[in-house]
Amino acid sequence: EIVMTQSPATLSVSPGGRATLSCRASQSVSSNLAWYQQKPGQAPRLLIYGASTRATGIPDRFSGSGSGTEFTLTISSLQSEDFAVYYCQHYNNWPLTFGGGTKVEIK
C-alpha cells in the first residue's frame, strides 16, 4: 500500500497570502495524483488531477506540481472561500489512498 503523507497538518495564512501544501508518496505514483478541497459539512471537491491539471471551474490561483513521489499544491492570493481542508490522493494502483489532510486556516 502506498502511504500518502501531507504536510503541514495545519497552515495559517493571511487572506491574500500564498499557501504551499506538500504531499509525499511512499513510492512513485507517476502523475496519478489528485487534490481535493473539503469544507465542513460538504463532500470533497476535486481541484487538481494528473498532478497539475485544474478541474473544470477551478480558479487559476490553484496550481499543482510534481511527479513521482513529491507533489505540491499552491494557492496564490488566498480568498475567504479557500480556507478549508485539502487532501491528496493517488490513483496509480490499488488500493487508492488519501493523505491525512492539511487544514488551511486564517492567520
Partner 1 sequence: EVQLVESGGGLVKPGGSLRLSCAASGFTPNSYSLNWVRQAPGKGLEWVSSISGSSRYIYYADSVKGRFTISRDNAKNSLYLQMNSLRAEDTAVYYCARPLGYSGYDLGYWGQGTLVTVSS
In the list 13, 17, 28, 101, the residue contacting partner 1 (rule: CB under 8 A) is 101
Choose, by CB under 8 A, the member of 46, 52, 61, 67 that binds partner 1.
46
Say how far apart CA 51 and CA 54 lie, in whole Å.
9
Q: Give yes or no for residue 71 binding partner 1 (CB under 8 A).
A: no
| 37 binds partner 1, rule: CB under 8 A | no
From CA 41, how far away is CA 86, in angstroms rounded? 14
What CA dihedral angle connects 73, 75, 80 and 83, to 10 degrees? 20
Binding site for partner 1 (CB under 8 A): 1, 32, 34, 36, 38, 42-46, 49-50, 55, 87, 89, 91, 94-101
